[in-house]
Structure 1
């Protein structure tokens, strides 16, 4: 099982923070993401199209996040994020994929857990955060022949991936309205992961509401197993900030 290891310091330099929170701040939110899936999965030298051959459709896309910001300049702030994607479908594999062919049922289970350390570079009506993320990526694609006692193929990827982190937000003063975006990304030695979103936000007292668009692109190889997929679509979220 191959783990992707990268010295982020060679590609991302974080200067000493020039802005810090005045007080301790915490927040958390939950979001619903309506995503479409496209791309391919590979097993040894066999490849299957997850959209056209397997006809995978979204069942559950859940996202939870929480953060802690503090006024200590030297120490980074902390953000945690968990994304769970479950998709299933019934399709037809016209050519041999690993052990299976013909009519098949498929399930894709993909989870991501992020730990992000970041600094607030700007903290006024324009907000800018820079940092690094350690992402635990765990994915499994199971393809089963519909025939009685049919063959089963399992494609798995698992790794801890270091990524650069950037978040920007622009506030419209005295309205509670803002627009922004976030991105985690890495590209190294043929593997790449991109995860970004853009959103509009409205805050009312402690309540924070967001709506926007999120895109994830994963091109990751683990031994003889490979996922080269994209997920994208609108999301809505609700959270509390203190």
Structure 2
């Protein structure tokens, strides 16, 4: 996926409408995502089910975002987003996986770490009671799945390390005079059999500079690098709190 053409990304950004905010805006959010994991991992042709075989369960999720909007024409607005997902579990392999021979012990301890940092450049296409943003995201994705034989020395490591250009879209509908709104936003890329989609939908309440959200987030990763691959779905409800100026 590193081979995605930079020229294509530049063309998408230049094609965006040159809308801009009326005033300078700054906002920050932190959130808790109660995510569940399903899917599979492949290592040299061996396949493991991360939910049923490894029994991975969420240990912690860290999510934070920061955005800056300005009234300068042509220049895009900027958004940073950070997500860390850590899951671990103890399970039993039904077949050999990544050098782990089930004949010498099928009990395994597994740890999954997924870390991503997004830099998004976007334009405001609409900015009234209907809000629409379009842009591009550069996502630095770093992931590692370690499966370790319990009571033994055999282990498998499946890694993801990529910087991905992704499309970005966000829409929000404000209910006049209520401080209540509903919205959705997402990033997406699909190329040569690999894909990554990250979407969420939410309800929002604004109280002065305080912004509260509750919603549902779903992320799908289908990534292959030589003989290793991850095909994962991570989803669940989230809540967030932020301030806007």
**1:49 matched to which residue of 2?**
49
TM-score by length of 2: 0.94
CA distance in 1 between partners of 2:113 and 2:10 (Å): 32
Structure 2 contact 16–134 (Cα < 8 Å) conserved: no
Structure 2 contact 16–135 (Cα < 8 Å) conserved: no
The alignment status of 1:233 with 2:232, answered yes or no, reads no
Which 5+ residue runs of structure 2 have no aligned equivalent? none
**1:121 matched to which residue of 2?**
125
**2:32 matched to which residue of 1?**
32
1:29-74 Cα shifts (integer Å, max 9, x gaps): 0000001100001111111100000000001111100000000111
1:167-200 Cα shifts (integer Å, max 9, x gaps): 0000011111000000100100000000000000
Select the residue among 203, 221, 225 that pairs with 1:222. Answer: 225
CA distance in 2 between partners of 1:12 and 1:192 (Å): 20
Compare the two structures and name the one with the higher strand fraction.
1
CA distance in 1 between partners of 2:128 and 2:166 (Å): 26
Structure 1 contact 64–83 (Cα < 8 Å) conserved: yes
**2:207 matched to which residue of 1?**
204
Compare the two structures and name the one with the higher helix fraction.
2
CA shift in 2, pair 1:92/1:4, >3 Å: farther
Structure 1 contact 28–64 (Cα < 8 Å) conserved: yes
Structure 1 contact 4–160 (Cα < 8 Å) conserved: no
After TM superposition, give the deviation of residue 223 of structure 1 in Å. 2.6
CA distance in 1 between partners of 2:139 and 2:25 (Å): 23
**1:21 matched to which residue of 2?**
21
Structure 2 contact 138–163 (Cα < 8 Å) conserved: yes
CA shift in 2, pair 1:183/1:85, >3 Å: same
Structure 2 contact 38–233 (Cα < 8 Å) conserved: yes
Equivalent residues in 2 for 1:103-142 (5 A)?
103-142=107-146
After TM superposition, give the deviation of residue 13 of structure 1 in Å. 6.5
**1:86 matched to which residue of 2?**
86
CA shift in 2, pair 1:228/1:74, >3 Å: same
Structure 2 contact 149–155 (Cα < 8 Å) conserved: yes
CA distance in 2 between partners of 1:84 and 1:71 (Å): 32
Equivalent residues in 2 for 1:132-211 (5 A)?
132-147=136-151, 149-211=152-214
1:89-145 Cα shifts (integer Å, max 9, x gaps): 000011000111300000000011100000000000000000000001100000000
CA distance in 2 between partners of 1:15 and 1:27 (Å): 23
